[in-house]
Amino acid sequence: MQYVNLGRTGLKVSRLCLGTMNFGPHTTEPDSFAIMDRALELGINFFDTADVYGWQRGEGVTEQIIGHWFAQGGSRRERTVIATKVYGDMGLPAANMKDWPNTSRLSALHIKRACEGSLKRLKTDYIDLYQMHHIWMEAPWDEIWQAMEQLVREGKVIYVGSSNFAAWQMVMANEAAKRRNFLGLVSEQSKYSLLFRHIELEVLPACKHYGVGMIPWSPLAGGLLGGMRKKLSAGRRLAENMQKEYDKHRDKIEAFETLCDKLGEQPADVALAWMLQNSAVTSPIIGPRTVQQLDGSLRSLDLKLSAEANTAIDGIFPGPGGPAPQAYAW
């Protein structure tokens, strides 16, 4: 396994990050345990989750599964860099308080409660990387950072990251943190794939400037870059929304898969290898439903794309043309 620093920090994380969103809704607890055990065997030490994963309000199903896995011992917790998120509505335990205020977003009160809830479900004393799942304009940065600083002082959080932030929001966050002599954001999770290259304009340049590690989510565009033609020919049906996306991008996907056939590589491996060669990218998030899918992701770490292959890929999936403003101005 290859390891890199998470942004400008001294923390070493694996080049692939294990996404756990399938744990609970699509993958049983025993199968989730098997995937996490296999990830450690392979040297993957970076796991990503969120308090809302499992999609049962207030339950934190996925975090609970990870917590049960940690509780088995065997240095599972110590070998894992666990990243979770705060923002979503977790509600309150009382059944008659379903629409109560302050159970979501980024108020200092919710950050405190959400962190304590995640710690309890994860059965751990600390969170390695605590990420804001979305931006919230109503909370001033002084409030947010005060809450995060308190968690760091208490030893409940080590590093803070963001997710789905625009570049200017990352700038505001880290400039505010600098004024408070606080480390600030060390990572950003953004939607990024060959099909969705928007962040190359401003988010990736901002990450490079501030030393913020990029953790792309949906690097295979929800499976569209994972070999759709073969899945269709094997008789696998697509969900209606996936079928619409496939139809929308059919020409590009088919051209990409033809190129991958010429390279003698699987589309998913090529898509991940393309992303891993970008120096701004720390660890793409892979979300295997099975151990076999996890094992299949490793090829991307050793796959080196030639200049000709990269040119062909750019021809199929043209990006925004480089960083802003050079991409659209002289």
For residues 139 and 69, give the distance between their C-alpha atoms in angstroms, rounded to a whole number: 35
Span 253-294, pLDDT tens digits: 999 999 999 999 999 999 999 999 999 999 999 999 999 999
Q: How far is CA 110 from CA 103, 105, 198, 226, 316, in A?
A: 6, 7, 31, 38, 44
Residue-level pLDDT at 234: 59
- Does pTM surpass 0.85? yes
Cα-atom radius of gyration of the chain, to the nearest Å? 20
Q: Catalytic annotation on 53?
A: yes
Q: Are strands 12-14 and 3-5 parallel, antiparallel or unpaired?
A: antiparallel
Length of the chain: 330
Q: Which one-letter DSSP state was computed for residue 56? A: S
Q: In sequence order, what DSSP letters do the residues of 64-124 get, joined into one string?
A: HHHHHHHTT-TTTTTT-EEEEEE-S----SSTT-TT-TTSSTT-HHHHHHHHHHHHHHHT-
For residues 58 and 72, give the distance between their C-alpha atoms in angstroms, rounded to a whole number: 24
Amino acid present at 151: L
Answer whether CATH 3.20.20.100 is correct for domain 3-226+268-306: yes
Residue-level pLDDT at 92: 82
Angle at 259 between CA 254 and CA 263, to 5 degrees: 145
The answer to whether the beta carbons of residues 9 and 186 sit under 8 Å apart is yes
Residue-level pLDDT at 241: 80
Tokens read off for 149: 């600083």
Residue-level pLDDT at 233: 62
Q: Which helix (H) or strand (E) holds 48?
A: strand 46-48
CB neighbours of residue 264 within 10 Å: 6
Amino acid present at 134: H
Residue-level pLDDT at 228: 85
Which among 5, 183, 182 has a CA at the least distance from the CA of 81? 5
Amino acid present at 203: V
Biggest CA–CA distance in the chain, Å, is: 61
For residues 126 and 26, give the distance between their C-alpha atoms in angstroms, rounded to a whole number: 27
Spot the catalytic one: 53, 87, 130, 159: 53
Q: Which residues of the chain have pLDDT under 50?
A: none
Which among 149, 183, 192 has a CA at the least distance from the CA of 284? 192
Span 176-216, pLDDT tens digits: 999 999 999 999 999 999 999 999 999 999 999 999 999 99
Amino acid present at 204: L
Residue-level pLDDT at 98: 64
The answer to whether the beta carbons of residues 18 and 36 sit under 8 Å apart is yes
Q: Which one-letter DSSP state was computed for residue 211? A: T
Q: How far is CA 265 from CA 8, 226, 253, 258, 260, in A?
A: 33, 11, 15, 10, 5
